Structure formats: C-alpha cells, structure tokens
Amino acid sequence: MYKSQASRGLVMESFPAPALAMVEKMRAAAAEQPERAIAFQGAPGANSHRAVVEWAPEALPLPCFSFAGAIEAVKSGEAGCAMIPIENSQAGRVADIHFLLPESGLSIVGEHFLAIHHALMALDKEGPFEAAYSHPHALSQSRAYLQERGIVPMSHIDTAGSAAYVAESGNDKIAAIAPALAADLYGLKIVEENVEDSADNTTRFVILAKEALDPATLTDQETMTTFVFEVKNIPAALYKAMGGFATNGVNMTKLESYQKGASFAATMFYADIIGAPGDPAVDRAMEELAFHCKGVTQFGTYPLARKRG
C-alpha cells in the first residue's frame, strides 16, 4: 500500500534497528486514530516523547525522524498536532524551528515546559567509556560532566536514537546520554542519572496544529501571542517598531533575530508577547509594528503554560 511522504519518513533506515519495531507499532496505532496522534521528532524514549506523554497522557505519540517530518504529519492529517522543542534554558533556541515554522502553515496552539534530566547509559555499567553519543543539545547540557571524565561527545540525531544506536552497536566502550526511559526501552544499563550540568535544565515545547485558536475563546486565561516580522531597511526601524509595545504596556518576553536566506541582507525577528489580538493595547502595538515593517506573520495565540516575569 502506498505510504505518504510523512509515513515514509517515519521508517527511514536512519532509525537504529532496535527503535524500528517500536516506531512501526506506534505508527500503526496512530493511523487508527490520527486525531489523537501527536507527532514528535526522535526515536521512542526521546525527551520529545516524554513531553507528549506529560502534556497529553491520552494521546498517541507518533515518532518522526525529523522536525520537518513531524510538521508534515500534521499537514497530511496523519497527526492532529505536533510537539516541537523551541528553546532550552541552557543550550538556547532550537534553530530549525525558526525556519520551519514560517513555511509550515501551522499555528501554535499551546506550550509546555519539560524538566530535562539526562542519564548516561551503556551496555555495561563498568566503563571506562571512550565516547558518549547524543543530540548536540544534550551534549552541550552535559559538557562539564563529559569533560571531567574524558569522554568524547559524539553528535547523533536525537537522544533516544543514540541509546538505540549504542544498543545495536554491541560496543561496551561507548555510551549514550538520553532520558532514563530510553534505557528501559533499549535494554541498556544506567551508569549514572542526572548528568546534566544544571539542575534546573528545562526545554520549552510548542504545540502546532492546522487551525489556530480563536483569541476570543481565551479571554478567561492569560495568553501569549507569537509572531515574526521584518523591519524596513531604514535607520532606527527596529527601535521604532518596538516603541508601540513599550508605550502600550505590552510585555515582550522574547525577541530573537535570525538571517533570512544566505544574502545576510534581510534580518527576521521572532517575538513572543503577553496578550492577544482583540486587546486594545495589543492591537495598537501590533498596528505600530506593522507600520515600520515589511511584513508581520502571526503564528497563534495560546494559553500561557508558565507565568513570565
């Protein structure tokens, strides 16, 4: 039977063999009830898998090899939404999302904060270990731990995938840094838990869906609105564009810049503000922003999962 692009992406050979059976089983369950499926990037046992289960225990987690694959699963109807990490308290932003979100056509309908705890796991607990495989963010978050032990960090597509890779390798001289759940799934032994360098290590996830939430239905909740914009190429354009938020008392909790294309001639800005369209102060601030911009694209208004400030 023909499989869509998203489905074929779920079973790419890049998933280590120990993960493939689980991926197929989870994919089959999601295919039966796609409206309950939440797509995520990574192998079963990844932090994104944990986030899905924590945010929506009744959901059907749908593992995808890439962020693009998770987004495509929503666009094709194979999943009701996708859960994507957007920033980490230690490693900073997850860069891919800034480029994928504007092109996806999806809207942010929620956010979730996940406490990140990494474990060092291997086929044998004894060591010593020559290298540890994991996602670059997890390696960055455990940099001091690895340096102190002389373990070489080795990049892998995701945390749980690295655990599956170590299990498949049969090499007891290498380890993986992944959630403890991955050790259970792939038959590894936990050498040490909580190997992250910071005890308050946290990742913020956003939930993406085809349909945006109506801000008018969220009036009884504190909300956040996310958008990207490109200012006009004139002196003080950014300063002027930001002025409307200050004069109208709208709290901007996040502002990040990134380059659009390879010419370095167009800078895009990603922003989060507290509030929603329909609020007079927000509407005035957004109107002033638009006056100083080449374009503004809103990605959705959604309930605040954690109070800012």
By annotation, the residues acting in catalysis are 203, 205
Whole-number Å distance between alpha carbons of 211 and 80: 10
Tokens, residue 279 = 């609020």
∠ at Cα 273 (268, 274), nearest 5°?
170
Other CB atoms closer than 10 Å to residue 120's CB: what's the count?
Answer: 27
Establish whether the linkage from the previous residue to 63 is cis, with ω within 30° of 0. Answer: no
- Residue 112 · residue 59 · CB < 8 Å: no
Residue 121 contacts residue 146 (beta carbons within 8 Å): no
Could you give the count of Cα atoms lying within 13 Å of 264 in the half-sphere of its Cβ? 0
Phi/psi for 153 (5° steps) reads: -75, 135
